[in-house]
Every structure is written in C-alpha cells, then in structure tokens.
Structure 1
Amino acid sequence: MAEEIRAEMVANVWKIVAKPGDQIAEGDTIVILESMKMEIPVIAEEEGTLTSIAVAEGDVVQEGDLIAVLD
C-alpha cells in the first residue's frame, strides 16, 4: 500500500534528497524544508520504493500538501 508523505507545516522546499526509484529505509530523509531559517527534514516513516516526488526545490508547500509517495 502506498504511503503519501505530506507537509506538516507551511515551508519552502529547500533541498530534494531522494529521487523516484530510490529504495528508502524507515528514518531516511526524503526532502528538507526551510521555515523561519530552520531546516526541517521530512522523514520516511516506513521503508519502500520512492515512486514520485510532487514538489520541486524552491516550491512553497502548505500544511497537508503532498510531498512524495512511497510504495
């Protein structure tokens, strides 16, 4: 079953760490968000294959926006 990884706050997408097709372990960083000059890693809560990234570096995400899908 696919896991949707969503933003927990309003932030800028500072850096995309993983790419579609990567094998992700629980605890791996997918992207790094930036808010109020703080870097916030977005962490996978389970292992799987990253099937898609729904954001680009420089995008602004709102709370609840889709960031990535892990299958």
Structure 2
Amino acid sequence: MKEVVANMAGNVWKVVVNEGDQVDSGQDVVILESMKMEIPIAAEAAGSVKELKVNEGDFVNEGDVIAIIE
C-alpha cells in the first residue's frame, strides 16, 4: 500500500482518477492549484486506487494524503 501525498499546499483543482482505477507509476492522480499554477500530483507506484481522500475544491497542506494505492 502506497500513499500519494501533496508536495505543496493548494486547492484540489481536478481529480483525474476514480476509486478502483488502475494507475501506473508516474501517472497523475490529482491536479492542485497553487499560486495560479496547476501542479500535477502523480502516483509513485503502480496499482489500484483503493481510496481517494480528497474531492475537487478541497484544500490540502503539504504532506496531506491524497489517495491510497494498492
């Protein structure tokens, strides 16, 4: 089980995957908006998205868990 974490604070602009989706290492999971920039947050390991911890519009801090990959 791997956690996908935010590497900076920002608003969740777009959730790119759904629970149950298969993802590859390096594939975008969500896109954050911070300081008027779009920052993609990618999975660090391949697997299935077990749980999404955020919704579009949510605010996250650096280090917050965004998703769980199994």
TM range (shorter): over 0.9
Measured after TM superposition, the shift of residue 13 of structure 1 is: 0.2
Normalising by structure 2, we get a TM-score of: 0.96
Aligned equivalents of 1:58, 1:31: Cα separation in 2: 11
Q: How many residues align?
A: 70
Task: Report the 3-state secondary structure (helix = DSSP H, G, I; strand = E; otherwise coil) of the residue aligned with 1:34.
Answer: strand
Normalising by structure 1, we get a TM-score of: 0.95
Aligned equivalents of 1:41, 1:32: Cα separation in 2: 4
Structure 2: 5+ residue stretches without partners:
none
After TM superposition, the structure 1 = structure 2 runs for residues 11-26 of structure 1, keeping only pairs within 5 Å, are: 11-26=10-25
Measured after TM superposition, the shift of residue 44 of structure 1 is: 1.0
Match of 1:57 in 2: 56
Structure 1: 5+ residue stretches without partners:
none
Measured after TM superposition, the shift of residue 49 of structure 1 is: 0.3
Q: Identity over the aligned pairs, expressed in percent?
A: 51
Aligned equivalents of 2:60, 2:8: Cα separation in 1: 8
